[in-house]
Structure 1
Amino acid sequence: MSRSSNASRYGSLAEKYLADERGLVLDGQHTSWCDARFQNGTPVEIKSAMVSTGYFQIYRKYHEKLREAGGWYGFVVYREHGDEIRVLKTRMTRPSRLPLQSLWSPTGGHRDSEKAKISFSEICCD
């Protein structure tokens, strides 16, 4: 299996884990800026990353949409475990709580937005 398809599969597993842990609704919710919703309809964007990367990527265009919608981020740090993942840490936070102001940089055309790489330690996970 390719690295990209593994990353996609691991991301889906991380989304399911956080949805189960936090009581989020996943079915029919996935867009570029919203992967799930709380039971009351509040949008949640789930960001997951393998512990070896050390950071999450946030795209400004989608970050702004989530912030304007009054949404939340759900962060999941995991480690590969065979064909599965082992979740090491999760955290929920509002977009306004992320220290992104000085981190935005051009993406070179990818997703037509600026992006920020934010380290685990700045969010939740030393």
Structure 2
Amino acid sequence: MAGRLRVVGVRVERVSGRVAVVVSLGYDGAVVTGRADRATGETQTIQVAAEAVLEAIRQVAPGQTRWGLEQVAIQPMLGGPAVVAHILLEAEGTSEHLIGSALGRSGPLEEAAAEAVLDAVERRLGWFTKN
């Protein structure tokens, strides 16, 4: 993966008591898509969005890496709400906690959640895909 991952689309669907989020990530002219869904009352939509990003990342990450969502939270900031993502990376017999954040600005917080996950994993993902 020579290029930087970027969010190219986030779609939220609410149907029959469930919420689903589909996230598309672009890199090197290609697009990978991840999808996650949960019962509506079970979790926040930002958590479903973060899980969808990790599903997309698993498509480009080496098989020996495991990416897990530990927590995602909204933090009020002067510039607008920020989303903070805590990702657990397990690889080569070790685990590492990764933290990323993104401002919600005026857009949907699901997009900020996707950006926060990318912020958390990008450097480590780039290292794994170059080696």
Report the TM-score, using the length of structure 1 for normalisation: 0.29
Higher strand share: 2
Report the TM-score, using the length of structure 2 for normalisation: 0.29
